[in-house]
Amino acid sequence: MTDDLELAEAGGDPSIVAQADKDLPPVVLQVLPALVTGGVERGTVDMAQAILEEGAIAIVASSGGPMVYELQRSGADHVELPLDSKNPWRILSNARKLEELIRLRSVSIVHARSRAPAWSAWLATRRTGRAFVTTFHAPYGLKPPIKRLYNQVMARGDRVICISHFVAEHVQRNYRVDPARLRVIPRGVDLERFDPTRISAERVIQLAQRWRLPDGVPVIMLPGRLTRWKGAELLLAAAARLARDREFLLLLVGSDRNSSLRAELESKAAAFGLGGKFAAVGDCDDMPAAFMLADVVVSASLEPEGFGRVIGEAQAMGRPVVAAAHGGALEQVEDGETGFLFNPGDVESLAVSLRHALDLPAGARAELAERAVAHVRAHFSKRLMCRRTLEVYDELLRG
């Protein structure tokens, strides 16, 4: 499914085109709970576009959401099914509907990206004999024991894609997947969107005005949904150590539907003496411009993330990143070279790393930015993610 030259360079060969001797192009069906904002959803839409660019047919089944329009605008089909339900009877009902869809549309490959829809997809592919692909996006919890059984469907793919080596190790350790079926394909950053040379000054100024940012004050940014495990409280405690001798503004950027947690964080910020140095600004529809406003971007997750998409996006924008040294972050950040790592959950270690990032001289900051951008372009681009996934589809189409 990839360009002949690219595949030759990658050591493979183009073979979705090998389907040309058949009457119809291959059809790839991706299934996920819903098309709301997030890394799973972004990857689904990106892959649908890549499938279409290769002359194949892309279908996505989900319960719907705001990204359906973007998907359909690209030319992919969307089928609305209640795939966000974990109810066993609904899962069985969805399996029957997916089976009908597979037969009706001559689907070649079904790619499941979450557990509930994966059970439905697995049943449907067993009944129809179609190829089944799964993507492990996180090291799912294993307790109580019923959870391990529920998670196990993600290890049943003819190919099991893991978004990092960290996730792959978890999968092999807990589900004993044959390495021959396992593929590590990191999430990809859209380098056309996250490109500092393409961000106009007007976009950055408009965002700064909307958020009422004071001129000349360094910005420490924590992007992501407002949840406890993202480490906002940890960051507040670390920032309090910096507040004694410097000016800065700590920005939480992302969905903040949890109003009680937001109020709690605002109260703690005041208690830490950060009253005028903290703001939770909510959702942002222009994250590339937001990153341009940041002097430091922080990933402070209390639990290891499977990948950590904002780390790659921030590095692609040339921003110094400070990240907890666990999970997928260890595969993205080269400590002291493309960013800074700190001991997970350690307030003092985080404060030290923040100081290092904020105190970078202009020349060292520019050099770090250059290394970070090159690192993401070489290893974590959307184009590379799509190409490697298309190669997995090719393997299965070859039989």
Q: What is the pLDDT of residues 182-232, one digit of tens each?
A: 999 999 999 999 999 999 999 999 999 999 999 999 999 999 888 888 999
At residue 222, the 3 state secondary structure works out as strand
Whether 79 has a pLDDT exceeding 90, the answer reads yes
Residue 312: which of 368, 370, 253, 380 has the closest Cα? 380
**Per-residue pLDDT band at 1 (split at 50, 70, 90):** low
pLDDT in tens, 123-159: 999 999 999 999 999 888 878 888 888 999 999 999 9
Whether 392 has a pLDDT exceeding 90, the answer reads yes
Average pLDDT, the chain: 91
Q: Which helix (H) or strand (E) holds 290?
A: helix 287-293
Whether 128 contacts 102, CB under 8 Å? yes
- For residue 13, the model assigns a pLDDT of 37
Angle at 111 between CA 110 and CA 115, to 5 degrees: 115
Whether 70 has a pLDDT exceeding 90, the answer reads yes
Beginning with the edge strand found earlier in the chain, give each strand of the sheet holding 249-253 in spatial order.
Answer: 278-282, 249-253, 219-223, 296-299, 321-324, 340-342
Find the mean pLDDT for residues 342-368: 96
DSSP type of residue 245? T
- For residue 6, the model assigns a pLDDT of 39
DSSP type of residue 93? H
Find the mean pLDDT for residues 341-348: 96
- For residue 148, the model assigns a pLDDT of 86
Domains located in the chain, CATH noted: 4-188+381-397 (3.40.50.2000), 196-379 (3.40.50.2000)
Bridge partners, 183 (sequence order): 161
**Per-residue pLDDT band at 257 (split at 50, 70, 90):** confident
Whether 275 has a pLDDT exceeding 90, the answer reads no
Most confident of 66-75, 135-144, 269-278: 66-75
Q: Out of 1-15, 72-86, 216-230, 291-305, which region has the weakest mean confidence (pLDDT)?
A: 1-15
At residue 346, the 3 state secondary structure works out as coil
d(CA 320, CA 120): 42
Place of tokens 């404060």: 351
Residue 189: which of 67, 40, 90, 312 has the closest Cα? 312
Q: Out of 4-8, 283-287, 293-297, which region has the weakest mean confidence (pLDDT)?
A: 4-8
% of the chain at pLDDT higher than 90: 77
Concatenating the DSSP letter of every residue in 222-274 gives: EES---GGG-HHHHHHHHHHHTTT---EEEEES----HHHHHHHHHHHHHTT-
Residue 301: which of 361, 239, 203, 223 has the closest Cα? 223
- For residue 23, the model assigns a pLDDT of 64
**Per-residue pLDDT band at 22 (split at 50, 70, 90):** low
- For residue 14, the model assigns a pLDDT of 36
% of the chain at pLDDT higher than 70: 94
**Residue 374 phi/psi, 5° resolution?**
-65, -40
- For residue 355, the model assigns a pLDDT of 96
Whether 299 contacts 326, CB under 8 Å? no
Residue 123: which of 162, 89, 174, 76 has the closest Cα? 89
Place of tokens 């098309």: 35
pTM of structure: 0.88
Whether 109 has a pLDDT exceeding 80, the answer reads yes
Q: Would you call 214 exposed, middle or buried from its count of C-beta atoms within 10 A (0-12, 13-18, 19+)?
A: exposed
Residue 238: which of 296, 314, 287 has the closest Cα? 296
Concatenating the DSSP letter of every residue in 94-117 gives: HHHHHHHHHHHHT--EEEE-SHHH
d(CA 338, CA 233): 25
Residues in the chain: 399
**Contact residues for 71 (Cβ-Cβ < 8 A; gap 6+):** 35, 44, 45, 48, 60, 78
Whether 112 contacts 121, CB under 8 Å? yes
- For residue 65, the model assigns a pLDDT of 94
Higher pLDDT, 40 or 2: 40
Is beta strand 249-253 parallel, antiparallel or unpaired with respect to 219-223?
parallel
- For residue 253, the model assigns a pLDDT of 92
d(CA 329, CA 306): 8
